[in-house]
Amino acid sequence: MELWMTTVASARGAMRSAEQIEAAGWDGMLVVDSQNLSGDPYVSLALAATVTKRLGLGTGVTNSVTRHAAATATAITSVHRVSSGRAVLGIGRGDSALAHLGRAPARLAQFERYLRHLQTYLAGESVPFDEIDIPFDVAPPLSGLHLHDAPPASRIAWIAGGPKVPVEVAASGPKVIAMSALHADRVMFTLGADIERLKWGIELARKTRRDAGLDPNGIAFGAYVNLGCHADHDTARNLVRGGLTTFARFSVMHGKANGPVSEGDARVLDALRTNYDMKAHTRGDSRQATTLTGDFIDRFAIVGSPDRCVERLRDLRALGLDKVAISGAMRGVSEEDAATSRKLVADAVLPAMKR
């Protein structure tokens, strides 16, 4: 099971961060795509590729609204080429990137169409013009120019014949899990580290593929997980509060909790949703961070000593996950405690997981 670190996109800091992440023993680095809160992810990843040799590089995650599928395919394939095949494309329906444009996550039909188009472009194949959803009041049809000749469809010719970038879909609800089971190369669950919830997601994805006549084992599974490593358990909990609010909210964003949850967890999720302040997104000292109980954090995140963190990660590996993207301490927590956690993960957790 590969262990990747999620971090911000920063053109100025990407190279330094990538060197440190690779030296610490991580398998890959994912950067966020949230244009109002961080730098451009593809610039950051391309710069990171120039100073690393083995580190996987990807978005964690982009969305289906702020860039056309052709632009996304071109950007990530450029990173794939400059890194000699180390790129992955992580995508979801959008959260903070859309919130800062005054929008909620993408509609399901749009997201599914975007995934189909994205995979088509990445394979070097053509998307019909009549499937491209650019409004006519933004740009009218090309046929109105009466050219002597023109492309018959939308295709990125220079991608054709090269290695394809894998697509990973961040999924928490049943409809997106089912959709990604059909259109992704890997489903990256945002269900927390709770074993029963992850089992539910895996079983749903495999059933969807069986029902569609596809090999239920023909897709990979991974997860986004918040991890805080510290000898003091309460400190470890506090390190992940801010990040966990973001991922846990995905399971209740539209009012009803997704997947198997107890009555107590449902109450915590509902309190999280109604108290969420997007202006304090990911912060450990936010209003929403106070809604998470210690018991909830212990199950939905991975917190505690190095031995405890290793035990929980091995449980995820035993489920069949081949990749875990880890978010550590976010803003609004003690930097000293965050540094301690990072060192413990690098010195004890990562080596133990390689054995």
Q: Is the model's pLDDT at 53 over the cut of 90?
A: yes
What's the number of CA atoms in the CB half-sphere (13 Å) around residue 98?
16
Rounded Cα–Cα distance for residues 102 and 109 (Å): 20
Say which DSSP state 280 is in. G
Q: Is the model's pLDDT at 98 over the cut of 90?
A: yes
Q: Which residues of 273-301 are buried (b: 16+ CB within 10 A; e: fewer)?
A: beebeeebbbbbebebbebbeeebbbbbb
Tell me the pLDDT of the chain averaged across its residues: 97
Q: How confident is the model at residue 318 (pLDDT cuts 50, 70, 90)?
A: very high
Peptide bond into 82 cis (omega under 30): no
pLDDT at 10: 95
| % residues pLDDT > 90 (the chain) | 98
Q: How confident is the model at residue 355 (pLDDT cuts 50, 70, 90)?
A: confident
Residue in 71, 66, 134 with CA at minimum distance from that of residue 100: 66
Residues 87 and 122 sit within 8 Å (Cβ to Cβ): no
**What number is the average pLDDT over the span 52-74?**
98
Say which DSSP state 346 is in. I
Residues 159 and 121 sit within 8 Å (Cβ to Cβ): yes
**Residue 190, CA distances (Å) to 19, 105, 201 in order:** 27, 15, 10
What's the number of CA atoms in the CB half-sphere (13 Å) around residue 23?
10
Residue in 130, 7, 132, 118 with CA at minimum distance from that of residue 58: 7
**What number is the average pLDDT over the span 287-296?**
97
Q: How confident is the model at residue 270 (pLDDT cuts 50, 70, 90)?
A: very high
Q: Which two tokens stand for residue 72?
A: 């996304």
Q: Is the model's pLDDT at 192 over the cut of 90?
A: yes
**What number is the average pLDDT over the span 113-128?**
98
- Using one digit for the tens of pLDDT, what is the confidence trace for 132-185? 999 999 999 999 999 999 999 999 999 999 999 999 999 999 999 999 999 999
This prediction has a pTM of 0.96
Q: How confident is the model at residue 115 (pLDDT cuts 50, 70, 90)?
A: very high
- Using one digit for the tens of pLDDT, what is the confidence trace for 204-255? 999 999 999 999 999 999 999 999 999 999 999 999 999 999 999 999 999 9
